[in-house]
Amino acid sequence: MTKWWHLDPETSARQLETDLRSGLSPAAAVDRRVQYGPNQLREQKGRTPLRIFLEQFADFMIWVLIGAALVSGFLKEWVDAAAIVAIVILNAILGFIQEHRAERSLQALRKLAAPFSKVIRDGNKSSIPSADLVPGDIVELEAGDYVPADGRLIQHTANFAVLEASLTGESTPVAKTQAALNEGDVPLADRANMVYLGTSIVSGKGRALIAETGMSTELGRIAGMIQAIVHESTPLQKRLEQFGKLIVYACFGLVALIFGLELLRGGKLLDMFLTSVSLAVAAIPEGLPAVVTIALALGVQRMVKRHALIRKLPAVETLGSASVICSDKTGTLTKNEMTVRAVWTPAGLTRIEGIGYDPTGNFVRDERPVSAGDDPDLRACLEAGVYCNGADLVQKEGRWTIVGDPTEGALLTAAAKAGIRKAEMEARSAFVEEIPFDSERKLMSVIRRAGNEGSLTAYVKGAPDILLDRCTHILENGRPRPIHKDDRARIDHMTDQLSDQALRVLATARRVFEAPPDSWSDSIVERELTFLGLTAMIDPPREEVKSAIAKCRASGIATVMITGDHKNTAIAIARELGFYGEDSRALTGEELDRLDEETFEREVERTAVYARVSPEHKLRVVRAWRKRGRVVAMTGDGVNDAPAVKEADIGVAMGITGTDVTKEVSDMIVTDDNFASIVAAVEEGRGIYDNIKKFIHYLLSCNTGEILTMFVATLIGWPVPLFPIQILWVNLVTDGLPALALGMDPVAPDIMSRSPRRKDEPIITGRRARLIIAQGAFIAACALGAFAFVLFVEHENITRARTAALFALTASQLFHSLNCRSQRDSLFKLGVFTNMILIAAIGASFALQIAILYIPFTQKIFKVEALGLLDLAIVIAVSSFPLGMMELVKLANRRRVTDAKA
């Protein structure tokens, strides 16, 4: 790829075989159109909506559920069959909506292209479709235009500036030059003589020589990277698929064993088949996909209240497993509101309190408050910043903001804190002339007249080194005096000191004219100036971000800054926020290019800051972290962030400053552009996954109880304790409402003090599996105990015994749902009524179970009979056994942990 920024315009034109004045001939343009193709982003053939929908059924668990629905239909359990089919269709629709939306990212990219361009061909200017542009064309650009392709600037007005935020992350317009850049490998953000497709002209006019078109442009390369990224399943999707296979195989094995044992005992083949199939349907947690989907959807609603908008449901859980957050700096970690931190005058350095555009804050020098009204030098410096200023400070809906350049907005805010208001100042001093800022002079001047017949004063601001060279005097104690060598040394030293703190430093000066000069040119106005002072500013960190990063550190989540800003500025912000320590490292894009993959993968763990980076660098950082097994969240707002946002496990787009491209490839949109909202979403995600584990634990332990009930009864030669329809009823009553209510359990207070779970951590660990089996045994003991007591002790009929077993099995599972709220803490510590939805679900399920015992119609359907009040009370008491046993187990575990710490 040709480095056009190294070449002067004439050399660039020779390489592209074109003329800088007349452009290409029409014939040459046609030939190049054939050679290079249209100036468009090439779109890969996407999946059709029908294909996307059908792919939702290509999942093992879905096929198992379809099989379960068919079996339920065979058993004439139409309610169960309909419920399972509804679950399958609901999941397919949700999956289709998510994936179809994700396919639209390239359409958003193409919106950034300008539809028409003003081109010079054969010396004539005409407007043509931008798709017909070719390398070698000359295009005219002016304020308001989108740049139609990548080009080398060949001429421009002094105030020509381009907004490149979407491509480079630079939030302020970039002044351009046509001079060749002789440095080495210049980062994209520093290529001051280039204009790029997708950026926009904010001021001035210019001409550019088109160098790259279509997929060869920087935007085209980004589109190629987005298309090349292969979609991967989320950690939750992978875990659920593995878990689904495991549970299905285990259920089928146990059911086959029960079927075989019953056959050996001489049971009827058809009865045993129906019982085994019913047990299989009951054992498979068919409600799991629906409960997961609903839990995630409810989590989405809660996240909206915390400024996080989820675009893809599985991302809710993935957020909870994030172990690295790669964040942009501007607007996410910082306020994106430039703030003056200090002003230096010969009287000393004055610190200014307050952040952002809110004009409230004190002035402090040497630990003592200072009033600008009592300090003529400080006031003169602040007034110069107001007079030489094109921005406005306004209040909208109770919030202060600026219209115009952020740097000039910071100067207005600092002055307003001292009671100096722009409107009042301009009323006393009429505008005469302005000499705009340009990238070569690095100065801006505004000439004003005091009153109607007063003196003329030029107010100048700009780069300290350049402005200081043009000063002959310095203001001290309100009076100008000749500037001396030691004055210049002090100013240079203070400029360096402030710059080392990553502050952006501007100098201000003025010159009084008794009479108007021959012309208001910069060569006349910007000399013999009186130096007023230095103003130091920065885009400050958000106040709430520091505590959010501390919360990340406590929970084992690494914070990484990836920014297009300068290295020193990035380090200063990272250090202030607390994630850049003594062992931390910062890399620029150029330094990153010099590291091979092996070295970089070793260094990535301690690199906290990446500065002046390209889209390829961001992608490389995300991939390096993922190779180390970490779950990565990547934030972004510009087009340049889109590939890395799509590659990350959780792509996070900014809602306010984010481009449509980045939003379309993201999993989540932060509506207030705040890092603290991302951390809040991680906390919510952890809580949701915690709840998913709770209801999976509940479903499995209950289903284990059902299988063990049937298995043990078969093994010891008892009559079958439950009919197929009774097994399916238990499944319907206990697996629905209580499981869903567990998915809505409040987030545990200590959730952010836990380390992130491993990417490969299974949903059911060995310890949890042992606990599930033990709890299933408790539930089975209740059912078998009730069955045996009625049949063998009371010598009642088998129907009454099965009724007792059915009620005990259902009630013990409902009591057990209270256990599943925590593996460690007592229910009474959590609070019995802190999840009222669960209490209501248990009450409703109990009511349904009691109803089928006492309504004649349902007695016949479910083959049960009414229990006396004493029997009912005894069965309910026995059914609380799992709850009491687990309270004792939790107590023993807590004591063991306490003893180990002691």
- Cα within 13 Å of Cα(567), Cβ side: 11
Q: Is 8 left (phi over 0), alpha (psi -120 to 50) or beta?
A: beta
- The DSSP element (H or E) to which 341 belongs, if any, is strand 339-345
- Contacts (Cβ under 8 Å, ≥6 apart) of 25: 121, 122
Residue with tokens 């919106």: 111
Asked if 201 and 160 touch (Cβ cutoff 8 Å), the reply is yes
- Contacts (Cβ under 8 Å, ≥6 apart) of 689: 236, 317, 320, 321, 757
- The DSSP element (H or E) to which 642 belongs, if any, is helix 642-647
- The two tokens of residue 220 are 């085209």
Question: Please, what sign has the CA dihedral across residues 709, 714, 717, 722?
Answer: positive
Asked if 583 and 343 touch (Cβ cutoff 8 Å), the reply is no
- Cα within 13 Å of Cα(514), Cβ side: 0
**Residue 541 DSSP code:** B
With the CA atoms of 146, 149, 155 and 160 taken in that order, what torsion angle do they form, in degrees rounded to the nearest 10? Answer: 30
Say how far apart CA 358 and CA 393 lie, in whole Å.
Answer: 9
Closest CA to 317 of 292, 337, 280, 352: 292
Closest CA to 190 of 3, 328, 335, 1: 3
Q: Is 374 among the catalytic positions?
A: no
From residue 206, give the alpha-carbon distance in Å to each of 116, 139, 141, 143, 175: 16, 9, 5, 9, 12
Q: What is the CA radius of gyration of the chain?
A: 36
From residue 353, give the alpha-carbon distance in Å to each of 339, 369, 499, 765: 9, 11, 19, 53
The count of residues in the chain is 902
Choosing from 145, 150, 328, 641, the catalytic residue is 328
State residue 461 phi and psi, 5-degree precision: -135, 155
- Cα within 13 Å of Cα(188), Cβ side: 27
Helix (H, G, I), strand (E, B) or coil at 7: coil
Question: Please, what sign has the CA dihedral across residues 731, 737, 738, 742?
Answer: positive
- The two tokens of residue 209 are 């020589």
Closest CA to 297 of 103, 58, 91: 91
Contacts of 475-480 spanning 24+ positions with Cβ under 8 A: 475/345, 475/346, 475/376, 475/377, 475/380, 475/530, 475/531, 475/532, 475/533, 476/345, 476/346, 476/347, 476/377, 477/346, 477/347, 477/376, 477/377, 478/376, 478/377, 478/380, 480/530
Closest CA to 704 of 617, 610, 769: 769
Say how far apart CA 313 and CA 335 lie, in whole Å.
Answer: 29
- For 643-671, b where at least 16 C-beta lie within 10 A, e where not — what string? bbbbbbbbbbbbbebbbbbbbbbbbbbbb
- List active site positions: 328
